[in-house]
Amino acid sequence: MPRIAHAVEEVLGEAIALRRDIHQHPELSFREFRTTEQIIAALQRHGLNPHRLESTGAWVDIGSGPIVLGIRADIDALPVKEETGLPYASVHDGIAHACGHDIHTAVCLGTAITLHRLLMQQTMVPVDHLDLTGRIRVIFQPAEEKLPGGSLEVIRQGVLQDVPRIIALHADPSFNVGTIGTRIGAITSATDTIRVTLTGRGGHTSRPQQTQDVVYALAQIAAQVPAILGRRIDVRSGAQLTWGHIQAGHAPNAIPATGQLAGTLRTLDVDAWDSASELLDEVIGNVAAPFGVKVQLEHIRGVPPVVNNEAEMDLIEDATRFELGSRTIELASQSMGGEDFAWMTKQVPGAMFRLGTRTPSGPTYDLHQGDYNPDERAIGVGMQIFTQAALRALVGAA
């Protein structure tokens, strides 16, 4: 296998320029019209034939023959005010690429162009002695930030049809640039929204026995249900119910007739995620029953966990070792955050790795924050890994 650092370097400037352009013009989920056009125009300039998705987003094939690998990027931004002070900071107030999707997009665009030049023009690295018959499909997916996620649209429109395996990355400011984080098995959590509404007979706080006390019932649900779930669901699943909102009443001496409780249910196990809805309904009903209140449970399914398959993770790690050395790979912790790439890994075997974006000895940022400022050198690192992984997939499928 040839090393492709030089090939990546030839394309890196264009990838960084695209990243800065879409960073300056971020677009929310399913509104990524300009972003989609910029991606398509860049691919077409290099002689590629990209295809638009029905709403926003695009995909492109590189090579010829059967598809051997899919590579996915997400392209949407967040409703977050940017606070980086960069010369290419967002021009749209209240919208920013605070999750690194501009990095993801630039990496995948650069990978597509680099692969095309390697396979079709072979101008930079001599790969003609290798049998590289096959196609790599690069997918620029919309709306990762809008549950249940734009990847379902990609699947519905048949873009994963005949894709035998797929890989992706996510920017991670907890890893230094030049390193990646990998893990076999669940790397992200299933993420659901839970809303509980209680209704009952309100009244004066001096006579609670004449009421159906929704405030006290809400308090019991808030305290008891997470603990009960911890005894009803296998602890190895990592199930976690956390409340983020509780509201009932307005006056200190009046028991209200209605109240609401809302939070998130997260789990690292697909089976636990599948069975949680029925169990949650049972547990909440049992806790609320002694108070005589009416219970309305709304369980909004989000995304399943991303479960990394061993073969695809091996592909990523082998490519990384070859290009960057074995010391660049670290163990990624499991995240309780959600990621809609999970729908794709339920469809075909796949894996996602963490791409380090922290400048060594520099400040540590967090995702979904307005000051997130990733080190752009991560783009070249991601391009090397994806391009090398694609070449290996082509060779392995020959």
Would you say the C-alpha torsion 160, 170, 40, 370 has a positive or negative sign?
Answer: positive
Cα 183 from Cα 153, distance rounded (Å): 27
170 is in an annotated binding site: yes
146 close to 30: Cβ distance less than 8 angstroms: yes
Q: Name the percent of the chain in helix, strand, coil, to the closest 5.
A: 40, 25, 35
Cα 25 from Cα 29, distance rounded (Å): 13
Instruction: Find where tokens 């991560």 sit.
Output: 378
Secondary structure (3-state) at 137: strand
23 close to 97: Cβ distance less than 8 angstroms: yes
| Longest Cα–Cα distance in the chain | 87
Instruction: Find where tokens 């196990």 sit.
Output: 269
99 is in an annotated binding site: yes
Cα 265 from Cα 305, distance rounded (Å): 12
Binding residues for Mn(2+): 99, 101, 145, 170, 368
Binding residues: 99, 101, 145, 170, 368
